[in-house]
Structure 1
Amino acid sequence: MATIKEIIDDVLKAEGGYVNDIRDRGGETNHGITIATARANGYTGPMKVMTQDFARGVYMKQYVEAPGFDKIAAISPAIGAELVDTGVNMGPKVAAQFLQRALNGLNNQGKDYADLVVDGAAGQRTRDGLTAFLKKRGAEGERRLLALLNALQGERYLSLCEGRAANEAFLFGWLARIAA
């Protein structure tokens, strides 16, 4: 069972260190934190020397606690880890929308639990839907839900490439996040 610290450690490993690729609209990043996010969180130094501890704090605040993914991880560490990773890569709102869409598709036309509003807020109703789904479907359901979340993530990556050719440079690497 993954802890929040282990989830963040995995994100830091996936994100790597300093990058400044001119094809990346996010600009300079270090440990997966863009310069804009670093500045918004009070970091004023050069991106090349931003510490992992600073990045860890940003991840905890902005990508775990703020969207409520820590509460999702308390229900399912695997789903929580997936949401944190997707949230870092695509934004927490997108990650929560993926979960809400997936749970809606898996609720047996509302017979197992009510449809969720796909608003990107992983609140109590989303947690209740996840709990009801896992109670009904168990470990195999969790595996299939993870597969569906990864499929949604992969489709989004491909759409980003189709919408902006420069993103094709990143597709192979992005897919490593869902192939692991």
Structure 2
Amino acid sequence: MDIHDLIEEVIAREGGYSDHPADRGGPTNMGITLKVARANGYMGDMKLLPRSVAEAIYRRLYWERPGYAFIAEMSWPIAAELFDTGINMGVATATGFLQRALNALNRNQKDYPDLKVDRQAGARTFAALTAFRALRGASGDKILLKALEALQGERYVALAEQRPANEAFLYGWLANRIG
């Protein structure tokens, strides 16, 4: 599996054009919102968003820019989870989940120092992930994935609790985004 495969899965799951009245993102196509499309130079009708534009946005904004391509070199499953969470919740939230999970799993800083949860994947985040994986190995990825998915699931429930209109999406978020 590679980033192309991940993008294919996302586009297949997100589907085509939608403009759900409860969705604050407004008109969306292949999971790309109007705001994101405009910020990335697409000025056309969202119903006609070219697939190549969506693919380029996914690759640049949700894989390369946040550093998930580097994380993939260490742990493909973790990078894939961050990519998916970043698309749905924003890369800062996804990276913050990683930092929080790594902090919670470092055994009171016995394994590596706590990270400042600055929601950016930089050298210290990469070093903490490297140290975690050196200690826990590939089996640690499964535990780290559970922690990331738990944080994501809690966030979905909180979003539905804070804004009842989001209840229209909660079942799908949990069914399609967790596990």
Work out the CA distance in 1 between the residues paired with 2:14 and 2:120.
Answer: 24
What is residue 119 of structure 2 aligned with on the other side? 120
RMSD between superposed Cα atoms in Å? 1.0
Residue 46 of structure 2 is aligned to residue 47 of structure 1: yes
Compute the displacement of 1:131 (Å).
1.0
Q: 1:138: how far off?
A: 1.3
Q: Does 1:177 align with 2:176?
A: yes
Shift of 1:14: 2.2
TM-score (norm 1): 0.96
Aligned-residue sequence identity (percent) comes to: 54
2:145 corresponds to: 146
Taking the aligned partners of 1:117 and 1:10, their CA distance within structure 2 comes to 32
Residue 108 (structure 2) aligns with: 109
1:20-68 alpha-carbon deviations (Å, 9 max, x no partner): 1011000010011000100111111111111221111001111111111
- DSSP-derived class of the 1:120 partner: coil
- Give the C-alpha shift of residue 139 in structure 1: 2.0
Give the aligned partner of residue 92 of structure 1: 91
Q: Distance in 2 between matches of 1:151 and 1:159?
A: 12
* Larger CA deviation: 27-36 vs 11-20: 11-20
Q: Which residue of 2 aligns with 1:168?
A: 167
Secondary structure of 1:20's counterpart equals coil
Work out the CA distance in 1 between the residues paired with 2:96 and 2:129. Answer: 13
* Structure 2 residue aligned with 1:19: 18
Provide structure 2 residue ranges, at least 5 long, that are not aligned to the other structure: none
Q: What is aligned with 1:74?
A: 73
- Take 1:177 and 1:119, find their aligned partners in 2: how far apart are those partners? 27
The alpha carbon displacement at 1:146 in A equals 0.4
- Code of the residue aligned with 1:157 in structure 2: it is Y
Distance in 1 (alpha carbons) for counterparts of 2:178 and 2:157: 15
Counterpart of 1:42, as a letter, is G
Are 2:43 and 1:33 aligned? no
CA drift of 1:10 comes to 2.0
Shift of 1:11: 1.9
Aligned mates of 2:15, 2:114 — CA distance in 1: 38
Q: Does 1:135 align with 2:134?
A: yes
CA-CA distance at 1:179 after TM superposition: 3.7
Paired amino acid for 2:67: G
Q: Distance in 2 between matches of 1:27 and 1:94?
A: 21
**Greater than 4 Å deviation, 4+ residue runs:** none
Aligned length: 179
